[in-house]
Amino acid sequence: MLQVVSSAFPDIKKPSEDNNMRDRIRSYVLIIALVIALAPLEVFAETQEDEPVFKDNQKIYVKLVEHVKDSVDLAASKISNALKANGWEIAGTFYASVPENCKYKTKVLIIHNEHYWQQIYGVSPYAKFVYPLKVNIYSDETGTNISVTNPVALNRLISPELEAVSAETLKTLAGLFHGAVKGNNIEKEEGTELDGNRIPGLGGGALEDNVIKIYTGKYKSDKVLETITKFIQYSLKRSTKGYYLVYSIDMRDKGIMFFGVSKQDLEKKAFTITGEKRVTNKNSCPGIDHANAFPLEVVIDTTGKNIKEEMLRVMFKMKTYFGDTGEAAFVKHYMMPGSIEDEIVYTTYPDIYQQ
C-alpha cells in the first residue's frame, strides 16, 4: 500500500518536507482510508429493497398516490377524467363490498385502451388473461389512496418482450394520476411479487397451463356469438349464486369480448382473509387495498376456427392477486377457489342448444 501511495504521490516521502507536507500525507491517507471504508457501503446501499422504485422484481399492485384529502368518489371522478382525456376508456366501475364493520370504502375502475391492447396482444394471444388494467381508489385511516394493477408484473406472465411497453404504460398512468389528484405522489409496489413467467407454490405454475375452457362452439358465426353473449348477460342477471356483471368490453371486430363478473360475499371474504394479519385499532379492513383483484374475467374468443369461452383457473388468479397473504391462508381455504370456479362455469356456460 505504501508503495502505491508513493508512486501515486511521488513527492510525499522527500526527507526535506516540513510539517505542512506531513499534514498533506495524513490527508491523503485519510482519503484513501475513507474510499476503502465507504466502497462496500455503496454496494450494500444499492441492494436495499426500498431504494429504487419499479425494481426488476415487480409486484402486482403499484400505489401511485396516498394521503389524498378528496373522498373516494371525488378522487375517482378526477382520475376518470384524466384517463378519458388521454385516450383511456372507463369500461366499468364498481364499489367492491367491504367486510362487516369496515368504515372505509373502495371504488374500482376498469380501464381500456385499444392501442395498449393491440401492443400486448400482438406479442402474445395470452394477453387476454392479463387484461384489462384496474385502478383501486380506496380509503384508510390516512386518507384516500390510488393503486393500479401493475402492467409490468402482469405482462411478465405472458412474454418477456413486453417489458418496455409495460414500463412505459405504467409511467404514463403514474403521470396521469399524479397530476389528477393532490396527495403524496409515490411509486410503491405492493402485493405478490411476480419476477418471471411462473408463479411458485400451491396453485401457481405457468399461466398457459391454468386456462379453463368453459365452452367451445362448433360453428363460428355472428348469430352464435350474439346468442352466447346474451345468454351470459341474462344468466348473470338471474344468478342464484350471487354473481353479477361488472363490465363488458366488446371488441368482437377483433375477435375478443370480456365479461367481468364478481360476487359480494366473495369480495368480503377475500378482503377479510388477505387483511386479517394487518388489522389495527384504526383500520379493521386493510385488505381492501387488494380490491382491484376483482372482478374475475370470462373471455369470448373468436379468433380461431371455433368460438371459445375461457377463464383463468381461480386458484391461479387468487395466487396472482392474493399471493402475499401466504401459503397458510391458501391451505386453510383450499376449497374456496374451486367452488368459485364451479359457480362461474355453471353460471356462464352457454348451453345455447337447450334454451
pLDDT tens digits for range 244-300: 999 999 999 999 999 999 999 999 999 999 999 999 999 999 999 999 999 999 999
Torsion angle (degrees, nearest 10) of CA 332, 336, 337, 341:
170
Is the per-residue pLDDT at 11 higher than 80? Answer: no
pLDDT in tens, 71-127: 999 999 999 999 999 999 999 999 999 999 999 999 999 999 999 999 999 999 999
Q: Is the pLDDT of residue 229 over 60?
A: yes
**Contact in structure between 296 and 278 (CB atoms under 8 Å):** no
Torsion-angle region of residue 132: left (phi > 0), alpha (psi -120 to 50) or beta?
beta
Peptide bond into 151 cis (omega under 30): no
What's the confidence (pLDDT) of residue 16? 39
Q: Is 53 exposed, middle or buried (0-12, 13-18, 19+ CB in 10 A)?
A: exposed
Could you give the CA distance from residue 349 to residue 250 in angstroms, rounded to a whole number? 19
Residue 334 scores a pLDDT above 50:
yes
Q: For residue 10, what pLDDT band results from cuts at 50, 70 and 90?
A: very low
Q: Which pLDDT band holds residue 7 (cuts at 50, 70, 90)?
A: very low
Which of 29-38, 144-153, 206-215, 321-330 shows the lowest per-residue confidence on average (mean pLDDT)? 29-38
Which residue(s) pair with 190 in the sheet? Answer: 61
Considering the chain, what percentage of its residues have pLDDT values greater than 70?
Answer: 82
CB 283 within 8 A of CB 141: yes
Our CA dihedral for 31, 33, 36, 42, rounded to 10 degrees, sits at: -60
d(CA 326, CA 323): 6
Which pLDDT score, from 0 to 100, does residue 4 have? 35
In the chain, % helix, strand, coil (3-state, to 5) comes to 45, 25, 25
Q: What angle (nearest 5°) sits at the alpha carbon of residue 207, between those of residues 205 and 213?
A: 115
pLDDT value of residue 23: 46
Tell me 160's DSSP state.
Answer: G
- Could you tell me the pLDDT band of residue 15, with boundaries at 50, 70 and 90? very low
**Which cell numbers hold the place of 145?**
389512496
- Length, in residues, of the chain: 355
Predicted local distance difference test score (pLDDT) of residue 220: 67
CB 288 within 8 A of CB 104: yes
Q: Note the pLDDT of residue 1.
A: 40
pLDDT at 228 over 70: yes
Whole-angstrom Cα distance, residue 135 to residue 53? 19
Q: What is the predicted pLDDT for the residue at 241?
A: 93
Place of cell 362448433: 218
**pLDDT of 169 over the 50 cut:** yes
Q: How far, in Å, CA of 318 to CA of 335, rounded?
A: 12
pLDDT at residue 27 above 50? Answer: no
> Which span out of 6-15, 60-69, 190-199 was modeled with the highest average pLDDT?
60-69
| 55 pLDDT tier (thresholds 50, 70, 90) | low
Q: Compute the distance between CA of residue 173 and CA of residue 254 in angstroms, rounded to an integer.
A: 25
CATH topology of domain 58-354: TATA-Binding Protein (3.30.310)
Tell me what pLDDT residue 222 has.
85
* The residue to which cell 409511467 is assigned: 171
**Distance (Å) of CA 124 to CA 92, 150, 159:** 25, 17, 7
